Amino acid sequence: MDWEGMFKYTGFPAYMKPFAGGGWKNVYRLDSIEDFYEKHPETSQLVMLLQEEIKFDEYYRCYCIGGKHVRIMPYEPRNPHHLRYVADFSPSAERYKLMEDIVLRINKYLGYDFNTVELALRDGVPYAIDFCNPAPDAEIKSVGQENFDWVIETAANYAIERAQAAEPGNDNLTWGEYIKTGAGNLPLI
């Protein structure tokens, strides 16, 4: 692997985390190349991502169900867990549309029917910080009643839609562009 190229591209500080993690498990903040090489062996067999640290002004957690239904929720990951959805960020209509488009494109590419994408905004530019959450937190105590109701209603309606559209004997799975185009064979950098 071209570690030096990746380090140059990402810079430091950076975050190394599981590609499909959750609950902030196995997330490392790295301050240098030496820090990377010290912590990387702790990851064992986990498939990890290395990301630039984004010091954000606003943060959003976005549910995507069925590759077409998006719920953008202000989110403050620096708050205690039970207060993370208590954030007063309010995107403009233009920024909301941009975030919605990013969420839809990511999910179409990955082929996820149920996912959350976390977007950190720095100087008004959204960066996808976390986008591989096909089993995201939807607990009412975490997301709040209004978001919980949306997730339950939208997921139930989508499940019914998929069940009614299923064709016996056919492949009824959702395949993302990543798989369909063979993009998984592309070099990282």
Residue 160 belongs to a domain? yes
165 Cβ contact list (under 8 Å, min separation 6) = 172
Same domain, 67 and 143: yes
Among 28-32, 76-80, 93-97, 158-162, the minimum mean pLDDT is found in 76-80
The H or E element that residue 51 is part of is: strand 48-52
Same domain, 123 and 149: yes
Same domain, 77 and 158: yes
Residue 171 belongs to a domain? no
102-106-112 Cα angle (round to 5): 135
Residue 112 belongs to a domain? yes
Residue-averaged pLDDT of the chain:
91
Residue 130 belongs to a domain? yes
CA diameter of the chain: 54
Is the pLDDT score of 127 beyond 90? yes
* Percent share of the chain, pLDDT over 90: 69
- Domain region containing 160: 58-165
Same domain, 21 and 73: no
Cβ 12 vs Cβ 31: under 8 Å: yes
Cβ 86 vs Cβ 79: under 8 Å: yes
